[in-house]
Structure 1
Amino acid sequence: MTILDSEAPAVLIGDLDDTSRAGDERALLASLPTGILIDGVWRASSDGSTFAVTDPSNGLTLLEIADATPEDGEAALAAAHTAQREWARTAPRERAEILRRAFDLVTARADDFALLMTMEMGKPLAEARGEVAYGAEFLRWFSEEASRVSGRYATAPDGKSRLLVTKRPVGPSLFITPWNFPLAMATRKIAPAIAAGCTMVLKPAALTPLTSLLFATVLQEAGLPAGVLNIVQTTRAGAVTGPLIRDPRLKKLSFTGSTGVGTRLIADAAQQVLRVSMELGGNAPLIVFEDADLDQAVEGAMLAKLRNGGEACTAANRLIVHESVLEDFTARLVERMQAHTVARGTAPASKIGPLVDEGTRAKVHELVSDAVAAGATVALGGRAVPGPGWFYEPTVLTGLPADARILHEEIFGPVAPIISFSSEQQAIELANDTDFGLVAYAFTKDLARGLRLSEELDVGMFGLNTGIVSNPAAPFGGVKQSGLGREGGFEGIDEYLETRYVGIADPFAGGAA
């Protein structure tokens, strides 16, 4: 292990057990399909092209896999369209049993999924195992919701007719998922679609497609019929998904990613009034009040800031701390972050893995450098770790000016900018001073204040005295430029259902029989 200096976290680039784990990694990679999945068949791309999936901890190629073409995308949608009618007629209990079997299979292969995510995305194994448990829970949750889709039958207020309201599947859906949570972002969309009776085309992120390929094999083993799920991983995202969004056979688009890309997709989808769900960027505030339990607040900040190395839309982007506890909170946070070892995710000591690629690390350092140039003080870190791999030191910044870019842009790295406030109203104004509204966190012992914040903060989710809000049983989503729609919870399946009303003539109009 190498210590960069007394002010830096422990940095260990290599893996303490590279030799013993290498065989497991090779065997897992060798077991994966490398093609695209269309109508239940794994096949090469139509032009035979492939692309490399690399390990962000060292830049080495993990696997070469098929690179889908626009023609492959069209074939995937055609398969989903053909399968839709029969799949929609499948008994809800049958769909539920498929999801439950998938939950059991993912859980049984938790170690494989965790290792694969660590290899292709970089997160420490402990966090990857946590994602497996979280992602699998969407399969179990929606297996329980599949048979609970219901409507209503009522007498019209004037008594002259009957009202029948039913739910039916939206139809073929296109899912575009991000690289930061390769399993959970897939299950969060696929599970409710299966439960509702929708067929799908999935385009996973080109940086982390392998987890989706493994998950698809699990769904096949669980009994998912051919054509219900089709996968087209590609480096030509726009060329493959653009024609699908314009195709009248597609009925639904669900995207998780940046606001910039999301707004363009919304514009494209508007051309055929395509139903959309968008889980976009975030700029989460974490507010620490003067009466907060500082141990709890620091622990919450560590979870909200460093989960996934900060590469999460729910990450605390701005730490807003009351001036009376600013110094104490900062010192405690620096001490905790300084103790985090930066290493390849498979290393037992790893607490922070590499960022996903060179561009992500460059953006993080650019934001840190801009803040320092504007007058911020580096209390910890502030540097890229020399390679191989795309590692960045856990970083704490203080004394930031209000116009620093890092306070207004999504960081997506292990960097904690701290600013102060003096009153509750000022804290609320600072927290709401953003175009985003995904999640906010606050730490206070005053329940009345917590309830006020839950109503005053412009967000879709709020964590009170906790640094984690994500839960499969709760609706996940934001307001403002953080998106449209909700995933998870009772609300999640509604995104894949249409409401149909049937007006029925009064059965007593001709007299009772």
Structure 2
Amino acid sequence: MASLAPANGIHVGGRWEAGELGTYDVDDPADKAVLAAVANAGAAQATAAVDAAEAAAAEWAATSPRRRSEILHRVFELMHRDADDLAALICAENGKSATDARAEVGYAAEFFRWFAEEAVRIDGSYGSAPAGGVRTVVTRRPVGIAALVTPWNFPAAMATRKIAPALAAGCTVVLKPAAETPLTALAVARLLAEAGVPAGVVNVVPTTEPEEVVGTWLADPRVRKVSFTGSTGVGRHLLRQAADRVLNASMELGGNAPFIVTEDADVAAAVEGAMIAKFRGGGQACTAANRLYVHADVAEEFTRLLAERVNALVVGRGADASTQIGPLINERAVHRVAGLVDDAVAGGARVVAQAELPADLSGYFFAPTVLADVVPDARVVQEEIFAPVAPIVTWTDEAELLALVNESEMGLAGYLYSGDLKRALQLAERIDSGMIGINRGLVSDPAAPFGGFKQSGLGREGAHEGIEEYQETQYFSVDWS
């Protein structure tokens, strides 16, 4: 922790600086202890970050794709070298278990490897105009300075999922990590510099004043891209600001993922998938299974098996080797999820499982919970939970199921367990979600296009589409008469 020098945690133009607003405390959600005092940036340092990105932009855009690729691949190697330290940082400031933190580091590093490969495969085209006499040359160029805004729930992966494609495309960036989890971003910034990323190409600006910092960026005509991951409410606000300058915007917003189990599903496999989709990271993921729709024919067996697994979960500090579920991010999150569970029970739901909370825990913990007999319009079904609570709704009619699934204004991820692959695919095609896990509890992959439908966002991250988000298409119409 001390090696990060977080009190000088503003990274601008290759220099580490104190914050113009002083420092702010970052807490460990497992025990509420102060981890570090972190530099707190304001509008002036937000502008300085853009100055640095602008100064580095032309040279980085002109750097050969091969060289950019080599640097990105080196970052991938360094993240694996420092995987234990990075995972420990994530455990400390985010609270997730050591197993989940280590998995996040591996996932985060993969974005540098994937986009190192994409950097040398930026395509274009050449062709004849149909009317003749003209040749058309299509090429791609970096969109320009990109403002990146990341959330607290995946402090490494959400940063690398944006930084890697931006750098591969030839863009320079300014990054605002979540105020709750800035330390991981500072560690990644140091690895980027060690790998050979030139000064000013990546600038990191922690702050407790996000509207001031991000607002400064969105109003600056030199910034040509904004990429945000977070709540739909904040995304709407940023889109309104971006509209004033017709700014290129990518938004990865909220989710309300359905988890569907059909009557012919392998119930044991479905329970295993639910444990991953619902409880990975303590349920604090936009892709987390939010509402479990289980066919009435298998609901009793599914509920019993899931309850057994959840009752056995070990809750504790993320750094403890035995911990499976860590704390929520803050006290507000605990009160909110408690309200959702109380509301569901008042509406007729039953608590059929609840893991033990050790008496010596002093942080922001909530016991992993399974709810049965949940009505479809309960708040715990309609709202994004972002906690280790699994509400089970039973169903019998497929048309009614699809109506319930698709009535949400969100459409990020979904999960579907069925014994008939053809039926599963046919159902999946009728679900309004950008990503659907079929007979598996994970959908995220750097090689796949991550993103959603409806109010879950705009654009895609990862895959070939990920680099296109940081490019402009340009074509030359060449006289050939």
TM-score, normalised by the number of residues in structure 2: 0.98
State whether structure 2 residue 302 is matched by structure 1 residue 324.
no
Give the match for residue 329 of structure 2. 356
Give the match for residue 31 of structure 1. 3
Q: Alignment partner of 2:332: what SS?
A: helix
- CA shift, 1:382, in A, is 8.8
- CA shift, 1:401, in A, is 2.1
State whether structure 2 residue 450 is matched by structure 1 residue 476.
yes
Distance in 2 (CA, whole Å) between partners of 1:33 and 1:149 is: 37
Give the match for residue 10 of structure 1. none
Give the match for residue 396 of structure 1. 370
Q: Alignment partner of 1:136: what SS?
A: helix
Distance in 1 (CA, whole Å) between partners of 2:71 and 2:120 is: 12
Q: Is the 8 A contact 1:102 1:218 kept in 2?
A: yes
Letter in 1 for 2:82: R
Give the match for residue 110 of structure 1. 83
Identical-residue share of aligned pairs (%) = 54
- Structure 1, 368-377 or 139-148: larger mean CA deviation: 368-377
Q: Is the 8 A contact 1:385 1:391 kept in 2?
A: no
Q: Is the 8 A contact 1:365 1:382 kept in 2?
A: no
- CA shift, 1:195, in A, is 0.3
- CA shift, 1:247, in A, is 1.1
Distance in 1 (CA, whole Å) between partners of 2:319 and 2:305 is: 27
Q: Alignment partner of 1:342: what SS?
A: coil
Q: Alignment partner of 2:449: what SS?
A: coil
State whether structure 2 residue 245 is matched by structure 1 residue 245.
no
Letter in 2 for 1:374: G
Give the match for residue 5 of structure 1. none
Q: Is the 8 A contact 1:361 1:384 kept in 2?
A: no
State whether structure 2 residue 308 is matched by structure 1 residue 335.
yes
Q: Is the 8 A contact 1:344 1:353 kept in 2?
A: yes
Q: Alignment partner of 1:320: what SS?
A: strand
Q: Is the 8 A contact 1:321 1:418 kept in 2?
A: yes
- CA shift, 1:213, in A, is 0.2
Letter in 2 for 1:191: A
Q: Is the 8 A contact 2:329 2:364 kept in 1?
A: yes
- CA shift, 1:427, in A, is 2.0
- CA shift, 1:423, in A, is 2.3
Q: Is the 8 A contact 2:308 2:353 kept in 1?
A: no
Q: Is the 8 A contact 2:313 2:355 kept in 1?
A: no
Distance in 1 (CA, whole Å) between partners of 2:170 and 2:117 is: 14
Q: Is the 8 A contact 2:257 2:412 kept in 1?
A: yes
Q: Is the 8 A contact 2:310 2:354 kept in 1?
A: no
Q: Alignment partner of 1:430: what SS?
A: helix
1:450-469 matches, cutoff 5 A? 450-469=424-443
State whether structure 2 residue 306 is matched by structure 1 residue 306.
no
Q: Is the 8 A contact 1:385 1:393 kept in 2?
A: no
Distance in 2 (CA, whole Å) between partners of 1:397 and 1:294 is: 18
Show CA shifts across 1:135-185 (max 9, x none).
100000000010110111101011120101000000000000000001000
What stretches of structure 1 of length at least 5 have no aligned partner?
1-28
Distance in 2 (CA, whole Å) between partners of 1:183 and 1:396 is: 29
Q: Alignment partner of 1:190: what SS?
A: helix
- CA shift, 1:381, in A, is 2.4
Distance in 1 (CA, whole Å) between partners of 2:5 and 2:467 is: 29
Give the match for residue 139 of structure 2. 166
Q: Alignment partner of 1:166: what SS?
A: strand
User: 1:445 pairs with 419, 435, 438, which one?
Assistant: 419
| Matched length | 478
Distance in 2 (CA, whole Å) between partners of 1:337 and 1:383 is: 10
Question: Given the superposition, is the C-alpha separation of residues 385 and 234 from structure 1 closer, same or farther in structure 2, using an over 3 Å criterion?
Answer: farther
Q: Is the 8 A contact 2:411 2:452 kept in 1?
A: yes
Give the match for residue 280 of structure 1. 253
Q: Is the 8 A contact 1:279 1:477 kept in 2?
A: yes
Q: Is the 8 A contact 1:59 1:388 kept in 2?
A: yes
Q: Alignment partner of 2:404: what SS?
A: helix
State whether structure 2 residue 67 is matched by structure 1 residue 98.
no
Q: Alignment partner of 1:324: what SS?
A: helix
Distance in 2 (CA, whole Å) between partners of 1:70 and 1:334 is: 50
What stretches of structure 2 of length at least 5 have no aligned partner?
none
Letter in 1 for 2:455: Q
Distance in 1 (CA, whole Å) between partners of 2:318 and 2:203 is: 30
- CA shift, 1:78, in A, is 1.2
Structure number with greater Rg is 1
Question: Given the superposition, is the C-alpha separation of residues 240 and 38 from structure 1 closer, same or farther in structure 2, using an over 3 Å criterion?
Answer: same
- CA shift, 1:53, in A, is 0.8
Distance in 1 (CA, whole Å) between partners of 2:20 and 2:336 is: 35
Show CA shifts across 1:344-394 (max 9, x none).
011111000011111111111111111112221111229987641011111
Q: Alignment partner of 2:166: what SS?
A: helix
